Amino acid sequence: MDFVKPRVVISKCLGFEPCYYSGQMFNIDFIDKLGKYVDYYPVCPELEIGLGVPRQTIRIVRNKNDNKDLRLFQPKTEKDLTEKMNNFSEDFLKQFDALDGFIFKERSPSCGPQNVKIYSDIQGQVIHQDGVGFFAQKANQLFPFTAVEGDGRLNNLQLREHFLTKLFTFASFRKINETNRMKNLVKFHSDNKYLLMAYDQEVLNEMGRIVANHEKLNSEKVYNLYRNKLIEIFKEKPNYKSILNVLNHIFGYFKNELISDEKEFFLNIIDKYRENKVPLSVPIHLLNAWIIEYEVDYLKDQSFIEPFPNELVDLTDSGKNNDRLR
């Protein structure tokens, strides 16, 4: 399958420069491997606003006069870095016409995509831990149609596959969106049908109605409506039952071709997948072999079979953040 190369902004300390406040750099195999399939744009917002390496730590602090207003401070020097960081983030991000994803260093008051500590005041205590770094927040505002993940969560198999699926689907949508042609949107919807079904059947149906365009809207409006639904459908990783449903749907294409031993073998594998004994790639590989053997052209183009380059399939898993292994 041909993939559009996603455009990804990434925290520079994740293998590009030892720019962490302590002078560290973090080498992560997956990020390294992914580099062959995406265009990375590394950035260290703290370096860019003039903080050196090593440097005193900075923190997000609640404004005493306004509970909702958060400021970025360096407690040791008592410098308020809020405006500098906001201005840099906006200027840096605005140079991009389009981006497909962000990979951020977790827990950083600049880059952290979630679970960042918020302090009561410059020298005070942690009041909660569900903040977002200043740069990451600007990225979310300016590029809501992107796959965003933190370095630690990418160690989890389900979250990593969800991130990759989203990233490569968004990149492919960006490409057809540039053409603004309805024909390309119809093809995109058709090629992604089973993948989207694995995420949410109801939203898939709504997307189908958008593409059918009975209201005869112009293509720009149709693309915008469709994009909003793509964001919605990828909000959560797919649930286990929907994936089983899609596997059975695709299996249905071969019911008349397969002998009973083959059918039994497949159903056995599905049971093992349900019991968490084999990863999703096992039943998918089997289905793919039949798609090739029986030349089912419609299924050959289905992104569910290969939502991101196969070379990125990696079964290592931290075991953290799991509700159920795929």
User: Which positions lie near ligand SF4, rule CB under 6 A?
Assistant: 11-13, 19-20, 44-46, 105, 108, 110-111
CB of 20 to ligand SF4, least distance (A): 4
Quick one: 70 or 305, whose CB is closer to ligand SF4? 70
Residue 287 structure tokens:
């289905």
**Going by C-beta distance under 8 Å and a sequence separation of 6 or more, which residues neighbour residue 26?**
13, 14, 15, 20, 105, 151
Minimum distance, C-beta of residue 147 to ligand SF4, in the bound complex (Å): 18
Q: Give the dihedral of Cα atoms 300, 306, 308, 309; nearest 10 deg.
A: -90
What minimum distance in Å lies between the beta carbon of 127 and ligand SF4?
22
Q: What share of the chain is helix, strand, coil (3-state, %, to 5)?
A: 45, 15, 40
> Between residues 42 and 279, which has the closer beta carbon with respect to ligand SF4?
42
How many residues appear in the chain? 326
Q: In the numeric block, which tokens belong to residue 137?
A: 């927040």
**72 or 207, CB closer to ligand SF4?**
72
- Minimum gap (Å) between residue 17 Cβ and ligand SF4: 8
Please state the closest distance from residue 185 (CB atom) to ligand SF4, in A: 36
In the complex with ligand SF4, the residue whose CB is nearer, 12 or 174, is: 12
224: helix, strand or coil: helix
Helices (H), 200-259: 201-212, 219-233, 240-252
As measured in angstroms, the least distance from the Cβ of 182 to ligand SF4 is: 41
Residue number with CB closer to ligand SF4 (131 or 307): 131
- Is 13 or 164 the residue whose CB approaches ligand SF4 more closely? 13
Q: What is the residue whose two structure tokens read 């994803």?
A: 101
Nearest to 61 by CA among 74, 49, 52: 74
| Contact partners, residue 190, CB within 8 Å, separation at least 6 | 301
CA 238 – CA 74 distance, rounded (Å): 40
Nearer to ligand SF4, 59 or 229 (CB): 59
Choice between 19 and 99, CB closer to ligand SF4:
19
**Phi-psi label, residue 126: left if phi above 0, alpha if psi -120 to 50, beta otherwise:** beta
Shortest Cβ 159–ligand SF4 spacing (Å): 19
**Residue placing its CB nearer to ligand SF4 in the complex, 8 or 287:** 8
Distance CA 177, CA 199 (A): 22
Alpha carbon 275 to chain centroid, angstroms: 26
End-to-end CA distance of the chain: 23
In whole angstroms, the minimum distance from the beta carbon of 129 to ligand SF4 comes to: 16
Closest contact distance (angstroms) between CB of 18 and ligand SF4 is 9
- Are 31 and 15 in contact, with CB atoms under 8 Å apart? yes
Contact 29, 151 (CB under 8 A): no
